[in-house]
């Protein structure tokens, strides 16, 4: 078994894998306390000797923290995923070093699992749209603010009594309370973005694409199964697991 670790801007997502199927998943918040919990977690599972890490945590990259460096010395196989890693994906990006490794993992997973032209929409701290062809070529994408960021953009006096978790069903386009107006507005912002971007991509490629929703933020999109062909909140971790297996088999 091995660990797949996706360090995002808000949370650290960990999957314990056998082959490419997660046995368990764990979440730790980014920040000092969360990092300490994560390091303690790794010490607890010393019998696991494999780990792949995708570190997209901005300027405070945990892959450079001395404690993690010491911990990873205990792994027989430790892989730090970078945009330069040969993971079987054809990438054109400028500069290539600026492409988030979580986006790479999403595309590797989509290409491997679905084997068709795929649009992956990852609802995280930021919302990323990533396109991968059935031939395994990364065709680019877009980055939008995340759902939480949209809510935080509202004046505090407007949203202080609004619970985003209240959105359980497809809302009406005409709201009759401030709470509904905000929640429904956020919903249609993302629904409209997904539908329009998918439409533009299909026009550009002159063919249909298969849409997959990933990331924890998808839980805030009611009836998301009506919008996407599939939903997999662990898609990034699965992509990391696939890359780990590929690279391990080459050694």
CB-CB contact of 124 with 236 (8 Å): no
pLDDT tens by residue, 29-52: 988 888 899 999 999 998 998 999
What is the Cα–Cα distance from 220 to 217, expressed in whole angstroms?
Answer: 6
Tell the residue number behind the tokens 């609802």, with chain if given: 123
pLDDT higher than 70, residue 243: yes
Name the E strands within the chain. Answer: 2-7, 11-18, 21-29, 50-55, 77-80, 90-91, 118-123, 126-132, 137-145, 210-214, 230-231
pLDDT digits over 46-71, tens only?
899 899 999 875 545 787 888 888 88
Classify residue 171 by its DSSP letter. Answer: P
- CB 125 within 8 Å of CB 12: no
Lowest-confidence segment of 113-117, 190-194, 224-228 by average pLDDT: 224-228
Where does the pLDDT of residue 250 fall: very low under 50, low under 70, confident under 90, or very high at 90 and above? confident
Burial of 96 (0-12, 13-18, 19+ CB in 10 A): exposed
Tokens found for residue 195: 């539908």
3-state secondary structure at position 205: helix
Report domain extents, the chain: 2-146+187-250
Q: DSSP code of 163?
A: -
Which fold is adopted by the domain 2-146+187-250? Nucleotidyltransferase; domain 5 (3.30.420)
Task: With beta carbons less than 8 A apart as the criterion, state whether 13 and 236 touch.
Answer: yes
User: How far, in Å, are 32, 35, 133, 194, 195 from residue 188 at the CA level?
Assistant: 36, 35, 28, 10, 10
Tell me the residue length of the chain. 251
Tell me whether strands 77-80 and 50-55 are parallel, antiparallel or unpaired: parallel
Give the pTM.
0.91
Ramachandran region, residue 119 (left: φ > 0; alpha: ψ -120 to 50; beta: rest)? beta
């Amino acid at each position: 078994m091995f660990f797949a670790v996706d360090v995002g801007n808000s949370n650290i997502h960990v999957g314990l894998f056998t082959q490419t199927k997660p046995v368990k998943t764990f979440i730790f918040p980014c920040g000092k306390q969360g990092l300490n919990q994560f390091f303690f977690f790794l010490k607890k599972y010393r019998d696991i000797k494999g780990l792949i890490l995708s570190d997209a945590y901005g300027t405070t990259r945990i892959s450079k923290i001395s404690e993690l460096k010491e911990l990873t010395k205990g792994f027989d196989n430790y892989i730090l995923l970078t945009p330069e890693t040969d993971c079987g994906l054809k990438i054109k990006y400028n500069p290539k070093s600026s492409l988030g490794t979580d986006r790479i993992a999403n595309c590797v997973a989509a290409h491997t699992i679905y084997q068709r032209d795929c649009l992956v929409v990852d609802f995280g701290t930021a919302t990323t749209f990533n396109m991968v062809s059935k031939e395994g070529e990364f065709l680019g994408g877009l980055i939008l603010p995340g759902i939480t960021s949209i809510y935080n953009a509202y004046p505090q006096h407007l949203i202080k009594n609004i619970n985003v978790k209240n959105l359980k069903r497809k809302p009406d386009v005409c709201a009759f309370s401030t709470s509904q107006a905000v929640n429904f507005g956020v919903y249609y912002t993302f629904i409209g973005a997904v539908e329009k971007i998918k439409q533009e991509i299909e026009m550009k490629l002159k063919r249909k694409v298969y849409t997959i929703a990933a990331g924890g933020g998808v839980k805030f999109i009611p009836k998301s199964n009506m919008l996407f062909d599939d939903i997999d909140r662990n898609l990034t971790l699965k992509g990391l697991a696939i890359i780990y297996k590929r690279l391990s088999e080459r050694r």
